[in-house]
Amino acid sequence: GLDEAHSKKTIDDDAMVMSTLPDGSTAWVSAAAVCNASSIVDDENLSFEEFCIACPQFIAAIEEADWPQGQVHMMAFFWKNLQIHPYHSMWDLLAQKALLVYQ
């Protein structure tokens, strides 16, 4: 999930890494082949805690990518409002899930 995505950096598809094969031997393999896409979690399937962790990381990334400040502020304001929405404080997990699906 988030921890793995945080530790992963962009790797050239042609990069080679050491990998342990099923028979126990080691070999150089393509870095792209080692990355497990099934570990990626869709936004609406994040826990609310993971969502709250991801928001400032995304804001930092779009600022670094030189997004216009108006769009950066719009995203930050939108996500702030989701985080302080009354549904976030409810015990009903479906209410929290509704906020994540909405975003």
pLDDT digits (tens, 9 = 90+) for 1-51: 556 555 555 555 567 777 777 787 777 777 666 666 566 777 778 888 888
Cβ 18 vs Cβ 34: under 8 Å: no
Q: What is the pLDDT of residue 39?
A: 65
Whole-model pTM over 0.75: no
Q: Which residues are bridge partners to 19 per DSSP?
A: 27
Q: Which residue has the tokens 């999930």?
A: 1
Secondary structure of 36-84 in HEC code, one letter for each residue:
CHHHCCCHHHCCHHHHHHHHHHHHHHHHHCCCCHHHHHHHHHHHHHHHC
| Cα dihedral 75→76→79→83 (10° resolution) | -170
